[in-house]
Structure 1
Amino acid sequence: MVRVLFLHPDLGIGGAERLVVDAALALKERGHHVSFLTNHHDSTHCFKETADGSFPVEVVGDWLPRKLFGRFYAFCAYLRMLYAAFYASWFMAGREQVDVVFCDLISVCIPVLRMARHRPRVLFYCHFPDQLLSTREGTLKRIYRAPLNWLEERTIGMADKVLVNSKFTLRVFQDTFRRLSIVPDVLYPSIHTQYFDQIEHKLEQRSSVVDVPLHARVPRNSFIYLDINRFERKKNHALALHSLRLLGNMLPSLDFKRCRLIIAGGYDTRCLENVEHYAELEQLTAELGLQDHVVLLRSPTDEEKCRLLYAAHCLLYTPENEHFGIVPLEGMYFSKPVIALNSGGPTETIVHTSTGFLCEQNEKSFGGAMYQLFRDEALRLKMGDLGHKRVQQKFSFEAFANKLNEIVKEMIPTSAQQKKFD
């Protein structure tokens, strides 16, 4: 048994959070002791496994500011994570010894962990270089980011093991951190298929397919396009709306009347962009005259998301150069064809014209794929079946859990190695 501590800045709802929760589930199922330490955890805005007692979750440093003067989010995030790392290294170490710390997103904690009373091994999972996630540029921003970027590269290099989520991220990692000689291993995220199977079995027992809180705006005979992603501008939900408008011009009015687009995404009132972008999408929906065809759903629960995936006919995935993208795997596992952009991680999960379509970033390409799946039921069902098989064969939870388990066990040295290490 290995004692593993997951150190994560905010246990909310998102792809990174889903990954660490699934990693924790995988290691727990392999007999390891798993716990979480985080700066923030809201039991009403998180994945259920972190709130139902599946894992011990301890929150520290939430009193520290998340921003200063409406800015400096990255600096504050680094400060909060440093506090958590010091807590793990000195206060927690007095209560229990940790063998491996699994950290992600913010690497500045790594040198602090290396100085811990009982030096744990540090596994860093790189979803994407933090310095590339900022979309705002300018002289002042570059000056502000320069020391943070330097710290990111230096501290990642201090980890005992580094993993990335896709071959795409591996290439970006090597292009970004040129002074690092390490070559990370690729560990594709997976989905906890056992839970999905349980929910799907329950849904199959029900007579009503569209059993989601959408009221009368989704009639039972609707053709549902589902778009799942956080309410952030980089997630490119506007492409789905513009493509739906184009679809309306391509279909007879009676057919288009059946079409519904459900945009379901993580929504946190503490995040100004979530609030602003939700309002922007509402406005764009009205400008395009799609009020009767679009439903915006904030922060669905895990079970609600599964109901949506079960009821949908097609999954839309609109971000450009997404690092990996767990949602396409979820859609394919529910036997739904996926329409995504031909860039980033989705090019490694979706097989074009087999399990879905990889499109250019314009409504003509995206809307054309939506039209084809609406018109060709046989193709849609065939793609869904092939997608489900692809997840089982290449991205199974079993394969993910086995590989992570081997990595964690290999990080624990033998007695002779330990003496040399110390």
Structure 2
Amino acid sequence: MQKLSVAIVHPNLGIGGAERLVVDTALSLQQRGHRVVIYTMHHDPAHCFEETRDGTLDVRVVRSWLVPESVGGRLHILCTVLRSLGMARRVATDREQYDVVFVDQLSAPIPLLKYAHAHILFYCHFPDYLQAPHTTLWQRLYRAPFDLLEELTTGEADQIVVNSKFTQSAFRNAFPRLSVVPRVLPPAINLAAYDTTPPADDPAVAMLHMSRQCILSINRFERKKNISLAIDALALLQNRSSLCLVVAGGWDVRVPENIEYLHELDAHARGLGLSTRTIAPRSASSQALKLLPSNHVRIPVFADDIKSSDSVDVLFVPSFSENQRAHLLASARCVVYTPTNEHLGIVPLEAMGMRVPVVAADSGGPCETVVHGKTGYLCQPTAHDFSAAISRIIGMSEDQWSAMGRAGRERVEAEFALDAYATKLEGIISDMIQYPTSVSAVFGVLMTMFIVCTSAVIFLCARYL
């Protein structure tokens, strides 16, 4: 394939499944000789993947100083759309010309990105329309223009891909005005990034060493991830004194839900009679430490000062480092993945890639990644079913456990390896660039301005009338 110049547009380059997809997409294209630049509205060097920090990838942060992230804790979606338009303007007016613009998650900037005269590929993780609340009348009125904006701007892309067959079905139901059927491109696992041994002298890793068997949950601290299910399942296990549930994942001081949900989970576990502890992120400021549960401990400078976690039933590791992730996946007896109707879920793939059996809800994307009885177990999202599946894995012989782990690794290598992903992506791009791209963006820009203004009026009416 001819060598291309590719811009990747992503709203927030933190730590999460979507961000991992962006990083792996950039790495796979770069390794095949393409020029790749990542544009984002937020990138914190203390809260990101190593490849975006060490110079491996070209990351350009576009800050919209005139538009805040929210207004008094409200209008998040409106502010995000406005800030994304500023980022799109930067891409379109950049001196560097691009052949392809890979737009991730947020479709609102697509009309403006047409001014870059590049082919636009939109990666839809899941329609925002299906995730946003529409309970009250004002919520429905406020969301209506944004739902329309999402559908129409998504349709402006030259090619649309989704991460699973489940998302493909949801896409068609959410956007009935669009006749296009998106292509399925599951994310990949960069196995080389996981097949590493974290430094033994890293105190952040040493704090995770324990004599108990590790049951691991990795997710952002969001209520929709249903992490309390893992805690409930642990409480039902008869041999829980020999087990420790480690709850690790994305935690951002800028996101109130992350802070609130961590406190809720800690209180929930203690309410079930489970002992808890929180390991503070190494980069946490004094202000951030105040937002953690009161039982948090800081990572010491020297390994001799480490406090043992052997007596802890539930260990919370918010904003965990890559070294901590590597250690946890290497030492886990099983990984529990608790969200229901998750559009894909990168965590089960990470676990299988590290030869760790998975227990996941029998719905959504995990049904396409986890092979029941072979690489893990798919269960009803109840504490009883999850507990039974975990108990079954804990009780396996080493040969049975290793066989299940090998099956998971083989599945990832065959279906979800980075090289296979890159080949599929190049094929989609090759098909897309054979056709001319539409460069007339006037209608799209006017449409975007109208919808944003309409949403602001609706919000003000709801707030003050």
TM-score normalised by structure 1 residue count: 0.91
Q: Find the aligned partners of 1:361 and 1:280 in 2 and give their Cα distance.
A: 19
**Does structure 2 conserve the Cα–Cα contact (< 8 Å) formed by 1:30 and 1:405?**
no
Q: 1:158 aligns with which of 138, 152, 156?
A: 156
Task: Quote the residue 1:59 is aligned against.
Answer: 61
Q: 2:226 aligns with which of 236, 240, 244?
A: 236
Moved more, 372-381 or 152-161: 372-381
Q: Find the aligned partners of 1:289 and 1:266 in 2 and give their Cα distance.
A: 25
For 1:89, the aligned partner's letter is A
1:376 aligned to 2:396? yes
Moved more, 377-386 or 75-84: 377-386
Q: 1:340 aligns with which of 347, 360, 365?
A: 360
Q: By how many angstroms is 1:380 displaced?
A: 2.3
Q: 1:69 aligns with which of 68, 72, 77?
A: 72
Q: By how many angstroms is 1:277 displaced?
A: 0.5
Q: Find the aligned partners of 1:50 and 1:419 in 2 and give their Cα distance.
A: 30
Task: Quote the residue 1:19 is aligned against.
Answer: 21
Q: Secondary structure at the match of 1:313?
A: strand
Q: Find the aligned partners of 1:418 and 1:67 in 2 and give their Cα distance.
A: 38
For 1:386, the aligned partner's letter is A
Q: By how many angstroms is 1:379 displaced?
A: 3.1
Moved more, 389-398 or 265-274: 389-398
Task: Quote the residue 2:176 is aligned against.
Answer: 178
For 1:267, the aligned partner's letter is W
1:223 aligned to 2:207? no
Task: Quote the residue 2:109 is aligned against.
Answer: 109
Q: By how many angstroms is 1:288 displaced?
A: 1.0
Q: By how many angstroms is 1:285 displaced?
A: 1.4
Task: Quote the residue 2:413 is aligned against.
Answer: 392
**Does structure 1 conserve the Cα–Cα contact (< 8 Å) formed by 2:24 and 2:190?**
yes
**Does structure 2 conserve the Cα–Cα contact (< 8 Å) formed by 1:11 and 1:38?**
yes
Q: 2:136 aligns with which of 132, 135, 138?
A: 138
**Does structure 2 conserve the Cα–Cα contact (< 8 Å) formed by 1:211 and 1:307?**
no
Q: Find the aligned partners of 1:157 and 1:128 in 2 and give their Cα distance.
A: 15
Q: Find the aligned partners of 1:11 and 1:53 in 2 and give their Cα distance.
A: 14
Q: Secondary structure at the match of 1:303?
A: helix
1:356 aligned to 2:376? yes
Q: Find the aligned partners of 1:267 and 1:11 in 2 and give their Cα distance.
A: 13
Residues 370 and 211 (structure 1 numbering): CA distance in 2 closer, same or farther, change over 3 Å?
farther
What 5-or-longer segments of structure 1 have no aligned partner? none
Task: Quote the residue 2:12 is aligned against.
Answer: 10
Residues 33 and 51 (structure 1 numbering): CA distance in 2 closer, same or farther, change over 3 Å?
same
Q: By how many angstroms is 1:101 displaced?
A: 0.6
Q: 1:32 aligns with which of 25, 34, 54?
A: 34
Residues 52 and 62 (structure 1 numbering): CA distance in 2 closer, same or farther, change over 3 Å?
farther
Q: Secondary structure at the match of 2:108?
A: helix
For 1:15, the aligned partner's letter is G
For 2:219, the aligned partner's letter is N
Q: Find the aligned partners of 1:133 and 1:61 in 2 and give their Cα distance.
A: 26
Q: Deviations over 1:193-242 (max 9, x none)?
A: 12222x1xx36x97x9x985463x7523x111000010111111100000
**Does structure 1 conserve the Cα–Cα contact (< 8 Å) formed by 2:134 and 2:143?**
no
Q: Secondary structure at the match of 2:390?
A: helix
Q: Deviations over 1:125-149 (max 9, x none)?
A: 0000011122462111110100000
Q: Deviations over 1:308-367 (max 9, x none)?
A: 100111011001111101110110011110000000000000011111000001111000
Q: Secondary structure at the match of 2:186?
A: coil
Task: Quote the residue 1:411 is aligned against.
Answer: 432
Q: Find the aligned partners of 1:4 and 1:320 in 2 and give their Cα distance.
A: 34
Q: Secondary structure at the match of 1:58?
A: strand
Q: By how many angstroms is 1:105 displaced?
A: 1.4
Q: Find the aligned partners of 1:315 and 1:86 in 2 and give their Cα distance.
A: 42
Q: Find the aligned partners of 2:438 and 2:37 in 1 and give their Cα distance.
A: 28
Residues 420 and 357 (structure 1 numbering): CA distance in 2 closer, same or farther, change over 3 Å?
closer
Q: Find the aligned partners of 2:9 and 2:416 in 1 and give their Cα distance.
A: 25
For 2:14, the aligned partner's letter is G
**Does structure 2 conserve the Cα–Cα contact (< 8 Å) formed by 1:66 and 1:77?**
yes
Q: Secondary structure at the match of 2:140?
A: helix
Identity %: 44
Q: By how many angstroms is 1:303 displaced?
A: 2.3
Residues 226 and 420 (structure 1 numbering): CA distance in 2 closer, same or farther, change over 3 Å?
closer
For 2:372, the aligned partner's letter is H
Q: By how many angstroms is 1:408 displaced?
A: 2.1
**Does structure 1 conserve the Cα–Cα contact (< 8 Å) formed by 2:216 and 2:335?**
yes
Q: Secondary structure at the match of 2:109?
A: helix
**Does structure 2 conserve the Cα–Cα contact (< 8 Å) formed by 1:103 and 1:123?**
yes
TM-score normalised by structure 2 residue count: 0.83
Task: Quote the residue 1:260 is aligned against.
Answer: 244
Q: Find the aligned partners of 1:277 and 1:4 in 2 and give their Cα distance.
A: 37
Q: Find the aligned partners of 2:395 and 2:257 in 1 and give their Cα distance.
A: 36
RMSD: 2.0
1:302 aligned to 2:300? no
Moved more, 169-178 or 389-398: 389-398
Q: Find the aligned partners of 2:234 and 2:178 in 1 and give their Cα distance.
A: 45
Residues 177 and 392 (structure 1 numbering): CA distance in 2 closer, same or farther, change over 3 Å?
same
